[in-house]
Amino acid sequence: MTIYSLSIEELKNIVKDMEVKYQNINLIDHVKSRLKSPKSIIKKMKKKKYNLNYKELIEKINDIAGIRIICPFQENVYIVRELLMQNPKIQVIEEKDYIQKPKKSGYASLHLIVEVPVETDMGKVYVKAEIQIRTMAMDFWASLEHELKYKNSNVTKQTSKKLLKAAKVMKKLDYEMSVLANETR
């Protein structure tokens, strides 16, 4: 877990540098980070029917270390993506664009699975981490949906439908705000 924590610090520094460099355009609103708890890791491994051993954990669980980058506008999400892709300090190994192709739930966000080099007593090791990049509106929806449905198996079809409807409102709000921003620039 120490190694995963160090990878989060490394990623936060990369994002800080980005914010300083692009402070004139308010690229990022805020950044959150989290280390997945051992209980959640085991729960996820069981759900995905992985064998409960360290090999499977290291190879298959990509989001033990995670950071979330919240941007004001959707176009900023793709600028941040580009900057991360070009950053020589990290290697992007997988991308999932749930903005272009939202999940059935309505979930929208851009995910990058990256490898981050971390210095340890035993030398450099490459640690996998997940970067979620999304707008403030997407984050608002996802945080509440996470609490109301994603982690709750007793959700009714009606609630799911209402959450999907709210996701459409969230998408429209992002669009309207982008239009407004472009008009005022």
Distance CA 66, CA 132 (A): 8
Q: Is 115 a catalytic residue?
A: no
**Does residue 12 interact with ligand 0O2 by CB under 6 A?**
no
Distance CA 1, CA 184 (A): 46
CB of 86 to ligand 0O2, least distance (A): 23
Cβ neighbors of 87 (< 8 A, separation 6 or more) are: 14
Distance CA 111, CA 148 (A): 22
Catalytic residue among 130, 145, 147, 176: 130
Distance CA 68, CA 14 (A): 13
Q: Within positions 139 to 178, which residues make up the interface with ligand 0O2, using CB under 6 A?
A: 142, 145-146, 150
Tokens of 65: 């270390």
CB of 159 to ligand 0O2, least distance (A): 13
- Stretch near ligand 0O2 under the rule CB under 6 A, chosen from 1-9, 12-20, 73-81, 102-110: 102-110
Q: For ligand 0O2, which residue of 84, 107, 118, 128 counts as binding (CB under 6 A)? A: 107
- Stretch near ligand 0O2 under the rule CB under 6 A, chosen from 25-33, 80-88, 103-111, 170-178: 103-111
Burial 150-166 (b: 16+ CB within 10 A, else e): eeeeeeeeeebeebeeb
Interface residue list for ligand 0O2 (CB under 6 A) = 36, 40, 44, 63, 96, 103, 105, 107, 111, 142, 145-146, 150
